[in-house]
Structure 1
Amino acid sequence: MAAPSKVGLDYYPRSTDLYEDVKFIPVKIKYGYICYAIYDILLELIYRDKGYYVDKRKNVVVKIAYMLQGKYGPDTDIVEGVIEMLVAERLFSADHYKQGIITSRRVQETYYIATARRKNISVDPNIWMLSLPEMKALGNNKGILSIFEKCDINEVNVDINEVNVDIYEQREREIEREKKRKENKKKEREKELSSLSINTCGTFSNVFLTDGDLEYLKAHYPASWQRKIDNLSEYMRATGKEYSDHLATLVRWAKQDEEKNKKELKKDNFNNFQGSSYTEEEKKKILELKKARQKGAAT
């Protein structure tokens, strides 16, 4: 008897800049860092189960709450709230979520690449989000590509007469809807950030700081707070890099600058001593005096 075909994944690649994704900002403001743990567990459930989606109706919320149980573990209401905000921030597909399915284009791209060498593989076209051109651009996954290249839709258990729409045209319409959703989401995010009293700052208005954050910067760096914000804004725009907490980044950069200035000052003092008009004998006596003072301070 042949072994059953594998469906999910044993492991999956993870982005190293995940926690710096700006989509997490509204979720983190409301629920804190628990949102990252819930997101990670969702990915684990997706990749381990079907590989490219998980059915939320199969006690997903309860499972996550159980996996995070402990002194500071969230209840099911918090887990549900985090998932809904992750969907609202487009980290998962809103259209699929309405049907009880949790998935995303990034998840499906990962699954497509990870299963490229599998011989027997099947996906549900009603859940699959990637178009044929998009899949071909990612690489050659014969198992999945063949599903969408075959003319006989019955082989993938889809009755074209019941669906009454060409699957490829449907994918193209989905791409257009996705563009419009992103535009609308950008407007909604700007409105939401405004309601949360978050100010858009910097040369390119891409640094997000609360009123309290700005007061902190003005109090600690009265002469340079605006320049520090503009430097961060210009660096992010030039490099495409994002940070999850802009205040923390500014403070860290300021501390690094202070350490650098101290080292340069120490180096300058040493060079000034070396280039002074002291005689060699005087320099020797000064060094001996310094050593004596250090020894006395140590005792």
Structure 2
Amino acid sequence: MGWWVVCSIRYLGGDLMARPTKDGIDYFPLDVDFLQDDKIRLIKAEFGSKGILIVISLLCDIYRTTGYYKVWDKDSCLLMADAVGCGIVPENITQVVQGCLRRSIFNNGVFQMFGILTSAGIQRRYIRAVSTREEIQIIKEYWLLDSSDKKDVPTSILNKVTFKTVNSEKTTVNLENNQVNLQINPQSKGKESKGEKSIEKTGSTAKAVSPVSPPFISLILRDNSEYPITERQIGEWKALYPAADIEQEFRKMKGWCDSNQSRRKTKSGIKKFINSWLSRSQDQKGLPQPQNRMKNDWDEYLKNSMKEITHDLP
């Protein structure tokens, strides 16, 4: 069960029949327990009701425009703050986006590499919403679903999916000012066109972009291949999860992967696993303990009061 959010699009003049083919969608399903989801509740606890408004506004914008992702930079942040209104400033938007990345509402791995806001859930809903289209074009580097899993991508939809690879020499990402400065080397076996895009018919999931810096540690995957974690990525995760001991958490992850062979992650699921793990560590180490402080302050108050009473006794 769920209810549908309507993203209204106004067409000012012109013949509706002549408008170009759109990538986005007009509606997307929003589960009735959306506000009860722990990730969303944590956003509300941290940023208040305006945080929920920002999350829903981001989702509407993603589904309305490209359908499954949003390029995120300084201008996008400014425009989103203007669109949301309600006294919300760009700094509020940035803080909520960072919170969504920490809690895996958006995929942090794709964001770090390409400056893109998306998630497996968004992509799963999108391909189902456009399942009646003759062709579904997906940017290969942003793909988070497991094409071999029919529950993730039904065969009837998979047959319509066409991957296109965006070759860009520079993509920029900076958590503080939303600008990117990362060198990206896309891996694609498809034939490149004269432009910046190449089209490749689907048949397998997108390969991850090879990290440039040497690995700090590697996590073993379900197929016994290894997923390298670079020093650069460690630095980025430290910025996202300042309360967590990132190096130690990755050592724990390695130990977990080594000893839990049947529960190891796939290439498409390892990033979600990492961010969920680090998010839990951040929450556990970053939460204040007001009740303990109140108890200590009260005990100190009673202690001092007793001293005064005792001193005044004859």
| TM-score bracket, shorter-length normalisation | 0.5 to 0.7
Secondary structure of the 1:133 match is coil
Instruction: Give the aligned residue type for 2:140.
Output: P
Residues 33 and 100 (structure 1 numbering): CA distance in 2 closer, same or farther, change over 3 Å? Answer: same
Residues 121 and 65 (structure 1 numbering): CA distance in 2 closer, same or farther, change over 3 Å? Answer: same
Q: Distance in 1 between matches of 2:291 and 2:274?
A: 32
> What residue in structure 1 maps to residue 43 of structure 2?
27
Asked whether the 8 Å contact 1:55–1:102 carries over to 2, the reply is: yes
Over the matched positions of the two proteins, sequence identity in percent amounts to: 21
Asked whether the 8 Å contact 1:135–1:145 carries over to 2, the reply is: no
Q: Distance in 2 between matches of 1:141 and 1:52?
A: 15
> What residue in structure 1 maps to residue 284 of structure 2?
190
Q: How far 1:31 sits from its partner (Å)?
A: 1.7
Point out 4+ residue stretches in structure 1 off by more than 6 angstroms.
none
Instruction: Give the aligned residue type for 1:9.
Output: I
Instruction: Give the aligned residue type for 1:101.
Output: I
Within a 5 Å distance, the mapping from 1:1-299 to structure 2 comes to 4-57=20-73, 59-70=75-86, 73-98=87-112, 99-134=114-149, 137-139=152-154, 140-142=156-158, 144-145=160-161, 147=163, 153-154=190-191, 157-158=197-198, 168=205, 170=207, 172-192=266-286, 195-197=287-289, 211=291
More helix by share: 1
Asked whether the 8 Å contact 2:24–2:64 carries over to 1, the reply is: yes
- Which has the higher relative contact order, 1 or 2, with Cα contacts under 8 A spaced 6 or more apart? 1
Secondary structure of the 1:12 match is strand
More strand by share: 2
Q: How far 1:143 sits from its partner (Å)?
A: 5.5
TM-score (norm 2): 0.52
Q: Distance in 2 between matches of 1:65 and 1:9?
A: 22
Asked whether the 8 Å contact 1:55–1:100 carries over to 2, the reply is: yes
Q: Distance in 2 between matches of 1:38 and 1:87?
A: 14
Q: How far 1:142 sits from its partner (Å)?
A: 4.6
Structure 1 spans left out of the alignment, 5+ residues: 161-165, 198-209, 216-299
Instruction: Give the aligned residue type for 2:94.
Output: E
Secondary structure of the 1:188 match is helix
Q: Distance in 1 between matches of 2:73 and 2:131?
A: 29
Secondary structure of the 1:170 match is coil
Instruction: Give the aligned residue type for 1:42.
Output: L
CA RMSD between the two structures: 3.4
Q: How far 1:167 sits from its partner (Å)?
A: 6.0
Aligned residue-pair number:
191
Deviations 1:249-278 (CA, angstroms, capped at 9, x unpaired): xxxxxxxxxxxxxxxxxxxxxxxxxxxxxx
Deviations 1:210-262 (CA, angstroms, capped at 9, x unpaired): 639x99xxxxxxxxxxxxxxxxxxxxxxxxxxxxxxxxxxxxxxxxxxxxxxx
